[in-house]
Amino acid sequence: MAPLLHAEGLVRHLGGRDVVDDISLSVPAGQVTCLLGPSGCGKSTTLRIIAGVDRQDAGIVSLNGAVVSDDRRHVPAERRGIGLMFQDFALFPHLTVAQNIGFGLPKGDAAAARVLDLLSRVDLAGYGAKHPHELSGGEQQRVALARALAPRPKIMLMDEPFSGLDNRLRDEIRDATLSVLKQEGTAVLLVTHEPDEAMRMADEIALMRDGRIVQQAAPYNIYNAPVDREAAAFFSDINTLRGDVHGALTETPFGQFLAPGQTEGAQVDIVFRPQHVRIDFDRAGHGPRPTAAEGTPARGTVLRARFMGKESLVEFLMDDGTSRVTATVPAVFLPKPGTVLWLSIRRDRCFVFPCTPT
Ligand SMILES: Nc1ncnc2c1ncn2[C@@H]1O[C@H](COP(=O)(O)OP(=O)(O)OP(=O)(O)O)[C@@H](O)[C@H]1O
């Protein structure tokens, strides 16, 4: 089946550079895709081009199998059959909640029934006669969602739709929004700079950097098979051990790692997340035995330990005198600085990348 949204080779020059630099992207029916990346990487510009509120310098946008924008054609935003939701919900202050939701619908019984149905779906049954100023931020967000969904768009384009909300409310509203979008079967392209939000919402994440998509995959795959060190670091803290390649192997305090495809003498980074480090006590200068899964353990000295709420973060200087490793441990584990402990790392959770500047 053809994707609902397909963008091919999008380019946008702004301020003397390509802020969108050859973006290609597809969103299938009913699927949530998150455009994720740091501030300024070009997410919003990409979304605005797809919405039709900005125009690309090169590339094609197709919706439902029909080209809506290329170098000759440009269907305006309001005729693309898309739902739009931006950071500021921009409800009409002088209209009631029901009038806001029904704004884009032809007047009639069907519209009234659709408004009532949406009010109950977003858990605001009975709120139809209120005005936006009488609602909390979370309630206003739900009205904006209902308004965008009212004309039954096949695709919703959302730009940081939860960023104006209180932290405590955000998770709840994200889940509720996702459930309404899934019930309606709407495909979604959602822009966010928060990895947690993308992991929570997305069927697929398109990770952006400097105007390009560097990796597009399901959340599990993007987290567990990042394309490079920066992609790994975008989702959590990471540890990096740098080493030289000799005979396709790299020596580290945790034994040798395979560095396939790397040239002799090149530098590589062995990257792993703090939650994949296991800590053992020192037994008169010995640690645990090496295992196939965890490889050779290495000894380190605690530099600092901090309690972070759900877990503790312990930083080590390894016995080689230069490598530093951070481990996260569930609950409270606060060894004193200077304590000697042994660390093992999950070999299947280590990534070997060509060295990039830190
Ligand atoms: N009209 C413009 N003129 C010049 N530069 C622009 C213009 N609009 C955007 N930019 C620049 O293009 C880059 C990409 O902007 P964009 O808003 O798409 O990024 P973003 O990834 O959505 O960032 P954020 O998460 O901060 O919104 C930024 O560096 C921005 O300063």
pLDDT in tens, 134-191: 998 888 888 998 998 898 898 999 999 888 777 777 888 888 889 988 988 899 999 9
Residue 27 has pLDDT above 80, yes or no: yes
Task: List, in order, residues 6 or more apart from 314 with CB less than 8 Å away.
Answer: 279, 302, 304, 305, 306, 326, 327, 328, 329, 333, 334, 335
pTM of the model: 0.89
How is the chain split among helix, strand and coil, in percent rounded to 5? 25, 35, 40
**CB of 323 within 8 A of CB of 240?**
no
Using most ligand atoms within 8 A of CB, pick from 34, 45, 158, 207 the residue to mutate for ligand 1: 45
Q: Which of 235, 230, 225, 220 is nearest to 275 (CA)?
A: 235
| Residue 191 DSSP SS3 | strand
Distance CA 45, CA 245 (A): 41
Domains and CATH numbers, the chain: 5-233 (3.40.50.300), 237-354 (2.40.50.140)
* Nearest CA-CA partner of 93 in 131, 119, 126, 124: 131
Q: What residue type is 235 in one-letter code?
A: F
Q: Which helix (H) or strand (E) holds 101?
A: helix 97-101
pLDDT in tens, 244-296: 999 889 989 998 888 888 888 889 999 999 999 999 998 888 888 888 888 88
Mean confidence (pLDDT) of the chain:
91
pLDDT digits (tens, 9 = 90+) for 84-99: 988 777 889 999 999 9
For ligand 1, whether the C-beta of 262 sits within 6 Å is no
- The DSSP symbol for 25 reads E
Q: Is 268 strand, coil or helix?
A: strand
Each residue's pLDDT tens digit, 300-313 = 999 999 999 989 99
Output the residue whose Cα is nearest ligand 1's atom 8: 14
**Residue 1 pLDDT > 70:** no
Residue 19 Cβ inside 6 Å of ligand 1? The answer reads yes
How many residues appear in the chain? 358
